[in-house]
Every structure is written in C-alpha cells, then in structure tokens.
Copies of this chain bind each other. A is one copy, B any other.
C-alpha cells in the first residue's frame, strides 16, 4: 500500500526503509530538503491517493502538534493519521478529537526498537478504533519483527502510547537493577571479574535478557566503563509513567527510584545534600566539606 511519512530522522528514515523493503510505497516529508521526497506537507497530501494514510514521526509536544494542526487542515474525510512518535497519551485524545472533526481517523503507535529496529523489526503498541487500526495492518506487518510477537492493538486511542510509556518505565527499572548489581559487584574485592560474572548470566539464570546481553557488549568494549561519565538523560516517558501512576494512585517505587537516580546523576553537586550537610553541622558540629 501507499503511505506518507513525516519525519525522516534516524528513526523515521529507518522505518521508511523497512516499510519499502516489504513492498509498500512511502512518500516521505522532512523539513530537511536533502531527506525529503516532497517540498511541503501540501505536496505530500496531494501526491497521496484517497483515502490517505499519513504516519507522523516527529518529536513529541510542539512539533507533533504543529504537524497535526496542519494535517487537520489539509486532509479529507476518510484519511487516517498515525502518530508514531513519543507523544504523551493525553495528547492522543486531543489529536483524535481534532482530526475527527474533519472526518479524519487517528491511531497512536508506540514504537520500540531503537537502532536495532531496521534489522530486527520494531515492536508496535497501537491504540485507536478498530476500523482505523485495521487499515494500517499491512504497514504494521512490515514494521514488526517476524513471528507472533511485537505487535499489539492495546486498546482505545492513547492506549498505544500508554503501553509504550509503561514499557519505558519498566526499562528504566530494569536498567537500574543491572546497574545497581554491577556497582555492588565492582565494590567488593573478592569478585575478580565482574564482566565475566555478567557474561555467565546470559544463560541459565532468572535474569537473562536482551538488556543483559547489551550490558555484556558494553563491558566488552570498556570493562569498567571508565570512558563514560555516570550521567544519564531521561526522555520523558519515565516521567510520564510516574505521573500516570500518581494519577491512578499506583505505587511505583522501583521505577521512580530509577528516574530519580537519573535526575541526581545530572547534578554537579546535590542541592539537597548541602542542606543535609548544613544541618549536620548545626546540630552536631560535624565536619562538612566546603565547596572547593
């Protein structure tokens, strides 16, 4: 089938490649003319035959909103928009309503796979009405990994991004689990090769996983990770996961601890620990360290 794809960055570009390989036609649009097949969104829409499918793959928030605004203006009844970016699930309902006003369908698709997706397939978590989702099956088939897994119609509009967001929240805590274990092993003298311990865990253990395989790859490149700073960004979904948990009064201690560990990793000096130091000095005359 034929589709438009807006946003041809690392993620969108690879996805376009994988969809084309499966025999579909992708007309891509990107602000960067070097990457783009068409000169404008208008041209993209003109080139697609009705009923159109347009997949949006741009950063969440403002950029996605602009594209949705423009598509709401350009598209026709019967067309379908897919938001495959990392939008917050709460935006999906707004976008669905906005597009529905013009008879345009909306599907949200959480996409996992990173730099490995082109080769192995992308895991897809999809939300939306059945009629809109079904139109897109050929594309989803092209993107997903082979085999019975890697694709789910998770529920109503927003459910796709919600499921992807929770996936990322789980990912945070799993990464933190390995990281904590690694630091503890590195801290004791009796264990002579933490890397080999990690490697051995890749079979026969309860904690074997793809992330563990990646950890071993990383340790093979740099056994004690001395080339890296202990500094980690977060990309939004972890924060939203905690916020969603708060909305639903669900306790998320491990995922939240993982998010906070990232926040702390980015502070040159800890503001809150200055207060701890100040209080210890006040009540106990404990020695403190002065800022250089």
Interface residues, chain A, with chain B CB atoms under 8 Å away: 10, 89, 112-117, 120-125, 127, 144-145, 147, 149-159, 162-163, 166-193, 196-197, 199-212, 214-215, 217-219, 222, 225-234, 239, 241-246, 248-267, 269-292
Contacts and interface: CB of A to CB of B under 8 A. Distances in A.
Nearest to A269: B230
A261 B250 CA distance: 10
A243 to B, nearest CB: 6
Contact of A246 (B149, B259, B269, B287): B259
Nearest to A155: B192
Across the A-B interface, give the 6 residue pairs with the lowest CB-CB distance, nearest first: A209-B209, A230-B273, A230-B270, A123-B204, A152-B200, A173-B177
B282 A217 contact: yes
A11 B289 CA distance: 22
Contact of A149 (B169, B191, B199): B199
Contacts of A262: 273, 276
A186 to B, nearest CB: 6
Given A214-B283, A271-B182, A289-B229, A176 B276 contact: yes
A109 B117 CA distance: 39
Contacts of A271: 182-183, 186-187, 225, 230, 250
A249 B229 contact: no
A232 to B, nearest CB: 4
Contacts of A200: 123-125, 149-152
Contacts of A208: 209-210
